Amino acid sequence: MTIGSFTQAQGARWILQHRAPLYGYIYACVRNHADAEDVFQDVTVAVLESIKQLRKESEFFVWAREIAFRRLMSHIRKNKKETSLNPHVIAAMAEATDRVEQASPFSQEREVLLECLEKLPQQSRDLVLLRYENSNQRLKEIARKEGLTTQAVYSKLKRIKEILRNCVSLNLLKETL
């Protein structure tokens, strides 16, 4: 995707995917669940309002964490008497959070999977989105919408998964060499 082409729906989905590390980072800084929840809500609103500024999906967590850092600084300034952490400690925690997120093998695999998805023909991507973006979609419903039999949809998805599996494996292998 190009700069600025992300939607608020995508942003909301990514916030949910990264909720635990973002909330954990915020909570570690404020040490109070009520304050952490308030800051997290502020971060969520800020992320959704500025989602078009995101350059790549793979940069979402670092970008959202930077927004969280700024919201934490604002929260600390407003509540000086209640907060004992200094901004340098929060910055160090942010860097540690980034290292943990980047070290996750799943984030690399996810990024490669997204690249492989982009290489698929549009019709195949649409079928994958129908099936997996809304997990409530059953094969029977997809088949009806697409004018296909359930078996045909199942077979197409099976082939697409095999193509994606091979693409991801090959790209991960290339990255390790």
The pLDDT tens digits of the residues spanning 122-136 come to 899 888 888 877 566
Under a CB-based contact definition with an 8 Å cutoff, are residues 49 and 89 in contact? no
Q: Supply the pLDDT for residue 150.
A: 92
CA neighbor of 55 nearest in space, from 71, 68, 44, 66: 66
Element (H, E) at 120: none
DSSP 44-73: HHHHHHTGGG---GGGHHHHHHHHHHHHHH
Reported pTM:
0.50
AA letter at 101: E
Q: What is the pLDDT of residues 12-45, one digit of tens each?
A: 889 888 888 888 888 888 888 899 999 999 999 9
Higher-pLDDT residue of 98, 113: 113
Place 81 in a pLDDT band, splitting at 50, 70 and 90: low
Domains and CATH numbers, the chain: 8-103 (1.10.1740), 106-176 (1.10.10.10)
* Per-residue pLDDT, 2: 47
CA distance 155 to 86: 57
